[in-house]
Amino acid sequence: MRVTKPRYKVVAGGDIHFPFHNRKAVSEFLTLIRCEQPTHTVLMGDTLDMYNLSRYLKKPKSYSSMYEIQEARRFFKKLKKVSPNSIDYILEGNHEERQTKYLLRNSPELLEYECLKVPNLLGLDDFGIHWVPARSELRIDGILYTHGRHTCVDAGGSVKKEQLKYREDMVMGHCHRLALIHTQAGIPGGPNQIVGVEAGFLGDKKSEGFAYVNKPNWCNGAVVINKRKVRLEVFE
């Protein structure tokens, strides 16, 4: 999926992990969008946690997947209210993929049911939000937006690993960190440097959903990219 018209303003943020979201960070993210009035908003993946569908051990009395979906839909309603004219995208993250993997393991016959696919469960058409499936590519102003697969304990390290594959300017989610790096491209006839951005985290690292991580150095925040100039926003 490509968007070719130059000079857009994009607000990118994600890894909300409903229902383990940081309410203050999500509120600040919406305020940022209202103030910036971007042409495009990109949710960088893992909007849902899909906690109950995880293959990992979990608490027996946990939030249902339907509760997560309802929380996300309430958020989408607020998103469209603060920025009704923006073009909005939501990337599929590894946590949304839990839905497909769960069906593959337990009821593969149900994979053909459109009503069970995450975009339809979320009702994205009702909000005019565009779904970008995993391993698809979204580019705006020549910048790649991807959820990502790599993680590194240091800020900037994850996107640096991703750029070994893509070798282009890019913004990623997944790692829950906020960073901007410049890397030597090493591409014959191409740019001398490429820009890598990690788009922050809108979850609550103190919630039960992240109890498996010992003292995570994650950062609540988001990114504004205006005419390809990057600004990091930290939500305290």
Residue partners of 67: CB distance under 8 A and separation at least 6 = 19
Is residue 33 one of the residues assigned to a domain? yes
Is residue 28 one of the residues assigned to a domain? yes
Is residue 164 one of the residues assigned to a domain? no
Are 27 and 59 a contacting pair, CB within 8 Å?
no
Are 220 and 231 a contacting pair, CB within 8 Å?
no
Q: Which domain holds residue 221?
A: 2-146+201-234
Place of tokens 């383990």: 20
Q: Please calculate the CA angle 222-181-163 and round it to the nearest 5 degrees.
A: 100
Is residue 183 one of the residues assigned to a domain? no
Residue partners of 129: CB distance under 8 A and separation at least 6 = 76, 88, 89, 90, 122
Are 183 and 160 a contacting pair, CB within 8 Å?
yes
> Domain with 93 in it: what CATH number?
3.60.21
Determine the length of the chain.
Answer: 236
Domain count along the chain = 1
Q: Please calculate the CA angle 125-49-162 and round it to the nearest 5 degrees.
A: 90
Is residue 82 one of the residues assigned to a domain? yes
Is residue 179 one of the residues assigned to a domain? no
Per-residue confidence in pLDDT tens, the chain, 236 aa: 655 555 799 999 999 999 999 999 999 999 999 999 999 999 999 999 999 888 776 665 678 899 999 999 999 999 999 999 999 999 999 999 999 999 999 999 999 999 999 999 999 999 999 999 998 999 999 999 999 999 999 999 999 999 988 889 999 999 999 999 998 765 555 567 899 999 999 999 999 889 888 889 999 999 999 988 999 999 98
Is residue 128 one of the residues assigned to a domain? yes
Is residue 169 one of the residues assigned to a domain? no
Q: Are strands 229-234 and 221-226 parallel, antiparallel or unpaired?
A: antiparallel
Determine if the pTM surpasses 0.85: yes
